[in-house]
């Protein structure tokens, strides 16, 4: 224990309810950063090609399990990538076997590797109907993709044009609005009385707004989708995350890309936060005078939504008087991946 330690916080081992692990060399490099600190993670299926069938999910889960460092107690929770050819029987069999936890909806073209996503939602009615009947959660990338809709408005439009009509057609469907970024999304979730709607929030959307990305130079490592919004929306997210409202829980959306593809004339979307997500959150909750609310957000509410037990294992965060150095980039073969840096002092770390 370091001499300048001023405070510790011990909580049930957290979970990450929205994570990109990729595959192959990249997966093997990034996975330890999650497996070290999180007990479970909902693993996104936007590989190339995507994880479309139960067999794909089984093979991907096997590859992930092989890459978990020994001594880490980590369970990947697998998702299927919803396409217009998803077979409801295959999904249900995977769900019943405990292999598949949820299904991810990417509107085609909304984000990284979403080309195989859904163009016409009515074409997946049979799948959604089955999910609604069986309680299989639908995880939404909640942005419309029409060229004429401004990128800052795409989430709010998705709620009105896509999500709410869908939920009215399938009232028993369980939905997680992934990585919410707007006050409209917070209001939509807060106003829901069904008990079937939750939302994940990322670290970067709690710590940053679009000024951080665009003022005094363009910061490509803050570019992700849905894109950072104005400060008013950041405030709404922070209030939701620190409110002890069980419908809001952590999904880091940690999404690694090689540094040279982020620092690029056409940079990719994604923030790699797995190594320091919990430290950054502890700082954020402390700054909001809500450290006592961190446990619910990172360790309890997501498990509750998914009907899973809260971890019996414990993780300790410790506060150091001196700010900690931001993490170095990680090496993936001959490439590097830049770690999220909120560019403000972080005094917290996970006890090694």
Applying CB under 6 A, the residues found at the interface with ligand DOR are 20, 46, 111-112, 141, 224-225, 255, 269-270
Q: Which residue, 37 or 112, has its beta carbon nearer to ligand DOR? A: 112
* Residue 105, contacted partner among Zn ion, ligand DOR, none, CB below 5-8 A by kind: none
Please classify residue 289 by burial: count the beta carbons closer than 10 Å to its beta carbon, then call 0-12 exposed, 13-18 middle and 19+ buried.
Answer: exposed
Q: Which stretch binds Zn ion (CB under 5 A): 114-122, 132-140, 230-238, 246-254?
A: 246-254
Work out how close the CB of 290 gets to Zn ion at its nearest, in angstroms, rounded to a whole number: 25
Task: Please select the residue that binds Zn ion; options are 15, 253, 295, 318, rule is CB under 5 A.
Answer: 253
Closest by CA to 347, choosing from 316, 323, 318, is 323
Q: Phi/psi at 107 (nearest 5 deg)?
A: -60, 135
According to CB under 5 A, which residues from 135 to 164 bind Zn ion?
none
Distance between CA 145 and CA 108 in Å, rounded?
Answer: 7
Calpha distance 252→17 (Å, rounded): 7
Q: How far is the CB of 198 from ligand DOR (least distance, A)?
A: 17
Based on CB atoms, which residue is closest to Zn ion, 16 or 253? 253
**Residue 2 CB neighbour total at 10 angstroms:** 10
Task: Tell me which of Zn ion, ligand DOR, none is bound by residue 154, counting a contact when its beta carbon lies within the kind-specific cut-off of 5 to 8 angstroms.
Answer: none
Binding partner selected for residue 131 from Zn ion, ligand DOR, none, CB under the kind-specific 5 to 8 Å limit: none
**Phi, psi for residue 172 in degrees, rounded to 5:** -95, 0
Contact present, 7 and 325 (Cβ < 8 Å)? no
The question of whether 253 is a catalytic residue gets the answer yes
| Minimum CB distance to ligand DOR, residue 256 (Å) | 8
CB of 117 to ligand DOR, least distance (A): 11
Assess whether the previous peptide bond of 144 is cis (omega < 30° from 0): no
350 binds, among Zn ion, ligand DOR, none (CB under 5 to 8 A by kind): none
Q: Which of Zn ion, ligand DOR, none interacts with 269 (beta carbon under 5 to 8 A by kind)? A: ligand DOR
A 10 A CB-CB count for 70 gives: 4
Q: Which does 319 bind (CB under 5 to 8 A by kind): ligand DOR, Zn ion, none?
A: none
Alpha helices (H) along 139-270: 154-158, 164-169, 183-190, 203-207, 210-214, 231-241, 259-262
Coil, strand, or helix at residue 277?
helix
Identity of the residue, 183 or 253, whose beta carbon is nearer to Zn ion in the bound complex: 253
- Strand arrangement of the beta sheet that strand 5-12 belongs to: 5-12, 314-320, 348-350
User: Active site residue: 253, 292, 328, 334, which one?
Assistant: 253
C-alpha 123/C-alpha 127 separation (Å) is 9
CB of 201 to ligand DOR, least distance (A): 14
Nearer CB in complex with Zn ion: 58/113: 113
Nearer to Zn ion, 225 or 238 (CB): 225
Rounded distance between C-alpha atoms, residue 155 and residue 237, angstroms: 14
Nearer to ligand DOR, 267 or 326 (CB): 267
Give the footprint of Zn ion on this chain (CB under 5 A). Answer: 253
Q: Give the residue numbers annotated as catalytic, written as ranges.
A: 253
């Amino acid at each position: 224990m370091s001499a300048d330690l001023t405070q510790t916080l011990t909580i049930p081992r957290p979970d990450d309810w929205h994570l990109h692990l990729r595959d192959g060399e990249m997966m093997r490099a990034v996975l330890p950063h999650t497996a070290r600190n999180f007990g479970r993670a909902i693993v996104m299926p936007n590989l190339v090609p995507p994880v479309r069938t139960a067999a794909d999910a089984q093979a991907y889960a096997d590859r992930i399990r092989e890459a978990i460092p020994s001594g880490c107690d980590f369970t990947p929770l697998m998702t299927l990538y919803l396409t217009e050819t998803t077979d409801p029987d295959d999904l249900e069999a995977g769900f019943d076997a405990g292999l598949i936890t949820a299904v991810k909806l990417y509107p085609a073209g909304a984000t990284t590797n979403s080309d195989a996503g859904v163009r016409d939602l009515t074409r997946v009615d049979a799948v959604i109907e089955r999910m609604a009947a069986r309680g299989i959660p639908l995880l939404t990338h909640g942005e419309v993709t029409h060229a004429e809709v401004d990128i800052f408005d795409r989430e709010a439009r998705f709620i009105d044009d896509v999500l709410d009509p869908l939920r009215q057609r399938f009232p028993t469907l369980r939905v997680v609005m992934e990585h919410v970024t707007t006050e409209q999304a917070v209001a939509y979730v807060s106003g829901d009385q069904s008990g079937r709607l939750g939302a994940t929030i990322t670290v970067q959307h709690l710590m940053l707004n679009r000024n951080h990305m665009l003022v005094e130079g363009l910061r490509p490592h803050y570019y992700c989708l849905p894109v950072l919004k104005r400060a008013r929306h950041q405030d709404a997210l922070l209030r939701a995350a620190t409110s002890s409202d069980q419908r809001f829980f952590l999904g880091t959306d940690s999404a690694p890309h090689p540094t040279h593809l982020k620092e690029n004339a056409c940079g990719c979307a994604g923030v790699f936060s797995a190594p320091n997500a919990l430290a950054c959150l502890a700082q954020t909750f402390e700054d909001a005078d809500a450290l006592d609310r961190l446990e619910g957000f990172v360790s309890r509410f997501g498990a509750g939504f998914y009907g899973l037990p809260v971890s019996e294992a414990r993780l300790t965060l410790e506060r150091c008087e001196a700010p900690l150095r931001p993490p170095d980039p990680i090496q993936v073969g001959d490439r590097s991946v830049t770690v999220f840096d909120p560019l403000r002092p972080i005094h917290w770390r996970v006890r090694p």
